[in-house]
Amino acid sequence: MRRLVISTVGTSLLTNEINERKDSRSWITDLNKTANWTQEKIENSSDYSHVFSKIILPLRSRVENKLNNSNIVEIRQMSAELNGIYGLYDEQLSKGNQDMHYLIATDTLQGQVTAEIVQHFLRSKGICIDIFTPKGFSTDNNESFTNGIDELLNWIEDIIPEFKYKVYNICFNLVGGFKAIQGFANTIGMFYANEIIYIFEGSSTLIKIPRLPIKIDTSVITPVEFALMAAENNVSIRVSQLQKVPESLLFICDDEATLSNWGKLTWNNCKHDLFIQDLLEFPFMIHEESFKKDYKRRTVDEKIKYELHNALAEISATMLKFNGETSRINPRFKYKRYEGEQKCEGGLKKNEIDHFYLNKDDAWRVSCVVKEIKNSEQKKTNVLRMRHFGEHNYVNNNP
């Protein structure tokens, strides 16, 4: 079976090439100081602008030359990341030429250079491999680290289902990388990976940990609130609406909450099962009976139910954040008004029915009408009265 291999990457492959007898003692000090710096920050620094050209580039050249002129045992000793990958394929990289690899690197100069060295080496061996770098991701401070993990979770949620659909085995290679990142990646892998691999310390013996049968307690999950907090607009929910939810799943500020990293991980792994059950009602949306009946039609399978709830959650979160403004709805839904006129008791009138699509292929859509109401503060806002839901022609003929 083909594999998707996700490897965490550190910087030891680069820094281990420092020769303490020949190189300046300042090299280690300068690299430690700039470990979490981007190339731009380094080059704009008056004290450390030399680090890239005078330290990192020479080290990169040494590493690449050494990799290209060493045997497998020596290569595995040089790089933890490569040690894991060689172990995965029993030291025969040709076994992996049908697999896809991703390197998870920090958004730092040293992290990028190390990942590029590994990438170039494996590509020269026929391995298909790319680098993923969450923006601003580093271990410099909690904010950079947390935001990076958030983006990593979103990326994993986007990419892994596609590979699982194509029947790939998902493997997390956690031999290399920073300990903090390995810790999070290990937990993420327990939810997403078929196996996680490590190497015994100081050896080349591979350890394979199969995916644990983790069962999420969905009784503490409130689907509507979790879907809104997980939406792109990052809506906050009042803590009073989340009383049964463990605090570990939430990031609480005053009396409002959003999802923590673990909350997002938990939601991503249970939302499919919750989205394919009964029709959920979101804020700023009213379901007409015709819409409810459409949801129960035989042609509405689990995939469509899941896509519908994803769309409703994103649109509801947008309207919640922007007080009912439909103009703020993400363009990917192609939200717009039907052209022409619609039938009424007196004959014809200007069309007031809107519609939006669920997915990229435009196969399924929802029709709705904007209705103006007054909110709890007696201010005017809009809600969507959901009319019909179904295939393109079905909704067009029954708007």
Tens of pLDDT, residue by residue over 123-143, are 999 999 999 999 999 988 888
Residues 7, 102 within the same domain: yes
Domain final residue, candidates 164, 180, 210:
210
Residues 351, 259 within the same domain: no
Residues 189, 232 within the same domain: no
Domain final residue, candidates 236, 251, 273:
273
Q: Rounded to whole angstroms, how far apart are CA atoms 335 and 317? A: 15
Query: Residue 348: what pLDDT?
Result: 47
Contacts of residue 70, defined as CB under 8 A and 6 or more positions apart, other chains included, come to 78
Tokens of 365: 């859509």
Tens of pLDDT, residue by residue over 351-366, are 789 999 987 767 899 9
Residues 127, 178 within the same domain: yes
Residues 15, 147 within the same domain: yes
Query: Residue 216: what pLDDT?
Result: 78
Tens of pLDDT, residue by residue over 287-333, are 999 999 999 988 889 989 999 999 999 999 999 999 899 999 999 99
Running DSSP on this structure, what letter comes out for residue 212?
P
Tokens 């291999």, located at residue:
5
Question: Could you tell me the CATH number of the domain that includes residue 181?
Answer: 3.40.50.10770
**DSSP-derived secondary structure for 230-293:** HSTT---EEGGGGTTS-GGGEEEETTEEEE-HHHHHHHHTTHHHHHTSSPP--TTEEE-HHHHH
Residues 19, 51 within the same domain: yes
pTM comes to 0.77
- In a 10 Å sphere around its CB, with 0-12 CB exposed, 13-18 middle and 19+ buried, how is residue 314 labelled? buried
Nearest to 372 by CA among 328, 313, 326: 326
Give the residue numbers spanning the domain of 225. Answer: 217-273
Residues 11, 102 within the same domain: yes
Domain final residue, candidates 191, 210, 229:
210
Which residues of the chain register pLDDT less than 70?
Answer: 340-350, 361, 375-378
Residues 262, 283 within the same domain: no
Contacts of residue 215, defined as CB under 8 A and 6 or more positions apart, other chains included, come to none
Tens of pLDDT, residue by residue over 74-106, are 999 999 999 999 999 999 999 999 999 999 999
Residues 61, 203 within the same domain: yes
Residues 59, 201 within the same domain: yes
Residues 126, 227 within the same domain: no
- Say if CB 257 and CB 286 are below 8 A apart: no
- Looking at the structure of the chain, the number of domains it has is 3
The per-residue b/e assignment along 195-210, b for 16 or more CB within 10 angstroms, e otherwise, is bbbbbeeeeeebeeee
